[in-house]
Amino acid sequence: MLKKPLTAVILIALIISGSYYYLTEESLEEVYINHVIDGDTIRIANGESVRFIGIDTPEIDWDNNEAEYYGWEARDYLQQKIQAKNVRLKYDQEKEDHYGRLLAYVYLNGLHLNQVLLENGYATLMIVEPNNKYETEFKKAAEEARRAQKGLWNKVEEFSSKLPLLDYQTAQLFIGEKVIVEGEIVNTAKTDAVTYLNFSDDYHNTLSIVIFNRNLNKFAYEPDQYLKDKRIRVLGTIEIYQSAPQIIVSDPHYIMVEY
């Protein structure tokens, strides 16, 4: 009489312990990797392209054989891991994007590669609704990589010796130039469309950092809350908008938190 209840208890214990993951992996779609396009896109044996869900790696311009910072490293890492191998695909709410690519979580021998790329600094977060099944885990992985300055999170530090290092008060002298600005964020504001990070209360006349809210899905934190009262370095090109200088930031690895 106790066999069925006991079986149920064992199954629940397996789920809680994580062993259930290996049971369910067998039901995922298995595919063969023909080609690694870049750090977050692969081509499988039937010719379809697969875009990794929840992450974004630096772009590669194959026509000019150029890549954004850490783009080649991300592609090489993924290629070494999965080229000419079988992987398993797990889908979320939407299975394809508007380019017709499959959207998937990719597994190799039990490794969740989307998360591994985040953990090692080869990718940044990019949550696109409704595909948010692992949002919590991905944010944690991205945040840990950021704090450790792994991979592409070391961009600002690496460029600090190659670009002018300014304080916000001298930004007006470097309009149109790529620079690194260092200073404390003293106040912030968030509208429906834009997040502002200000180095001064006189933000109408001094440098501000501008983040369009459509890019907030790349951040593991809320910039207007987390960065207030923190000293940072930001990398970008100084522009003029309504007579005041600004730097537009579209990716979180262009900001390094000092303390």
Q: What is the pLDDT of residues 110-162, one digit of tens each?
A: 999 999 999 999 999 999 999 999 999 999 999 999 999 999 999 999 999 89
* Same fold: 20-149 with 160-257: yes
47: left (phi over 0), alpha (psi -120 to 50) or beta: left
Q: Are 208 and 194 in contact (CB under 8 A)?
A: no
Query: What does the pLDDT read at residue 8?
Result: 46
Determine whether domain 160-257 maps to CATH 3.40.50.2300: no
Q: Are 227 and 257 in contact (CB under 8 A)?
A: yes
73 noted as active-site residue: no
Question: What count of residues does the chain have?
Answer: 259
Distance (Å, whole) CA 161 – CA 56:
26
Query: What Cα–Cα distance (Å) separates residue 97 from each residue in 107, 117, 124, 146, 235?
Result: 20, 21, 19, 28, 31
- Give the residue among 156, 177, 168 at the shortest CA–CA distance from 239: 177
Q: What DSSP assignment string belongs to 179-239? A: EEEEEE--EEEE-SSEEEEESSS-TTTS-EEEEEGGGGGG-SS-HHHHSTT-EEEEEEEEE
Domain ranges of the chain: 20-149, 160-257
Residues of the chain with pLDDT under 70: 1-27
Do β-strands 208-212 and 244-248 pair in parallel, antiparallel, or remain unpaired? parallel
Query: What does the pLDDT read at residue 25?
Result: 54
Tokens 């999965």 belong to 82
Catalytic residue, chosen from 29, 30, 59, 258, is 59
Distance (Å, whole) CA 146 – CA 120:
10
88 noted as active-site residue: no
Query: What does the pLDDT read at residue 259?
Result: 80
Catalytic residue, chosen from 43, 48, 101, 143, is 101
Assigned fold of 20-149: OB fold (Dihydrolipoamide Acetyltransferase, E2P) (2.40.50)
146 noted as active-site residue: no
* DSSP letter assigned to residue 45: T
Distance (Å, whole) CA 255 – CA 149:
11
